[in-house]
Structure formats: structure tokens, C-alpha cells
Structure 1
């Protein structure tokens, strides 16, 4: 089973990644074990992040420096907090509890890495949903701009614990509708078949 392990206040958590979700599955984090490894926790003031010309994020703490990738520990409940910085072996190098605690240069580097990774497209409007042979074609507006994507006809949006919807397209991209009831009337009418 794949997922993301993150340490928050000395507790190891496992959070499923999108490839582990199944229809009707849960996206909530699961407590795995108490971390008693005695590993020192790095205060945000001691962590430095740098976005390099080659498009990589580098993290430095003390004398250690390495390229890292960002994983959200709680992508739906706290998407902007508890960010796990992983090295090339997928080992957690550092945990950023709150990006506001970082120095401005490091915070800007982290924001760049998050933007480039494009974790999830945030849907602001649904323009059209067409069904074709075994395919459903979606045309939407997102915070990142207009998008058209396809899902299998038998793939339905997943309902999230907070009431939002998550759609995974054929290419593996994720589309999040945080509050479907707050969308415009046309969007709600198109989505009514997918919402209880």
C-alpha cells in the first residue's frame, strides 16, 4: 500500500496517495505509530530553502543540503501546512509545519515548488460535461486556467470528508471542488448527478 508518511509532533502518520484510493474509499490520515526515535526536530528558523535555476528545490539544515520534493501531509484539511520535504529516497528531510514560519526567501522557494508541482487543479466553474462512448469529457474553469479533461464513464467523483469532490482524470491529474454547493447555478446543475 502506497502513501505518504509524515511526522507531526513526534507522531508518524500515513496518508494515502491518490493511486491508493478506491471508489468509496477514505482519504483521511491514519495513525501508524508513535515516533520515539529521538530524532531532533528542526525549527523553521534553521531550515533554508532555495529554488534553483534547474527547477529544483534545495533544503539546507545545519551542514546538510539536498534536493527535495514537497508532499502535503493533509492535502484537504490543511493543504498549506504540514509539508513534508522528501529527498530522492523519499525519506523525510524536514517538515514545514507552517510556511509563515520560514524566512521570506525560503517561503518564496517553497511556494514556487508547490506551484510547479501543480498538485491539484481547483475547480471554480463547471462549463460542460459530455458523455461519449465509455468516456466523460469535462470542460471546467480552474484557478490555474481553463481545462478540458476526460474520465472513464464508470469513474465517479469521490466525496471528501469535508463535503468537497475530487475527480481524477485519465491522465492522473486531480481536480478538487471544495464547495460544490457554492458554485454558480449552471455548475451545480451539471454536477447534480454526482452529489448526494
Structure 2
């Protein structure tokens, strides 16, 4: 049995155990590098954001705990992927964007030019006015119209 374990409670919260003994409930998992290393550098914090456990990777956890943590992170770090930009209300910010995502059509507000952030290579992240993030894994692979719209905001 591994020393640290994460379990999901009946109410959907995470609970942290050490050697079978409850350490804290509820706990949250926070990614240090959510875009570049989504399964490395994970902090397990209590409800007051005090760090209880640092994981360089998922390896120290048993397979069951890894599965629980991965499922939790998929829910917490949900970011739709933009496949195509259908339209923008204006080429100034704030502007309303209508996009096609891997989860279907969506409309969101881009509050400022700084809401488009370039990651490594040709990856982008766009942040809605409410904080939700949308990923573009490769803006150069998008259709011509989508690239033109992005170019106007990234210039």
C-alpha cells in the first residue's frame, strides 16, 4: 500500500489519506503548470489553501488514487478546444466571440487583448470575461478566416 491516497467521497469531494488514516477532507488539487505539464507539479491543498502534499508526478500514488485525481482534474481544469472562430462582434475589445469548440458552439466575451495568451509554439489560450479558458492547440492549423481574426487581435 502506498503511503498517500486520494479518495472521492459520496458528495464528490476529494479526501486525502496517509497510511489509511484521514488527513483532510475536503482537499483540492492545484496544477502548478496546467498547460505545459498537466500531470506534473500537483499541490494537494486543504480548504484553507494550505499545502498538504506536493506531487512531482502521479507515480507516488496507487493506480486507484491516480484515477481519482485524473478524473478530478478533468472536471476542475475543463477547457474546451476552439476548432473554428465563426465571428467576432468587433475588432476592438471587449468583443463577443462566436466559436465552434470540441464541445459544440459557444459564445463568449473577450474582455481585453491580454485575454489572448500565447503558449509555446503555436498554442493559444483565450480567457472569457468570466475566467473560463479556451484552448487553441495550433492556431496555424485553423482555417484561413479564423487565423485572420486571431491575427487582428495578436498584432
With the shorter chain as reference, the TM-score category is: 0.7 to 0.9
Aligned equivalents of 1:136, 1:46: Cα separation in 2: 50
Aligned length: 153
Match of 2:17 in 1: 60
How big is the shift at 1:172? Answer: 1.5
Match of 1:182 in 2: 141
Assess if the C-alpha contact under 8 Å between 2:27 and 2:47 holds in 1: yes
Match of 2:83 in 1: 124
Gaps of 5+ in 1: 1-43
How big is the shift at 1:114? Answer: 1.2
How big is the shift at 1:133? Answer: 8.9
Q: 2:129 aligns with which of 151, 163, 170?
A: 170
SS in 1 for 2:40: coil
How big is the shift at 1:101? Answer: 5.1
How big is the shift at 1:160? Answer: 2.9
How big is the shift at 1:69? Answer: 0.7
Q: Show CA shifts across 1:116-175 (max 9, x none).
A: 213533323323222299631112233444321112365551223544322221112122
Q: CA RMSD, aligned part only?
A: 2.7
Assess if the C-alpha contact under 8 Å between 1:51 and 1:109 holds in 2: yes
C-alpha distance 139-85 of structure 1, shift in aligned 2 (>3 A): same
Alignment of 1:1-196 (within 5 A): 45-62=2-19, 63-66=21-24, 67-99=26-58, 102-131=61-90, 135-152=94-111, 155-196=114-155
Tell me whether 51-60 or 118-127 shows the greater mean CA deviation: 118-127
SS in 1 for 2:33: coil
Aligned equivalents of 1:65, 1:145: Cα separation in 2: 40
Q: Show CA shifts across 1:12-65 (max 9, x none).
A: xxxxxxxxxxxxxxxxxxxxxxxxxxxxxxxx9322111222121112123342
Q: TM-score, normalised by structure 1?
A: 0.65
Gaps of 5+ in 2: none
Aligned equivalents of 2:92, 2:137: Cα separation in 1: 29
Q: TM-score, normalised by structure 2?
A: 0.79
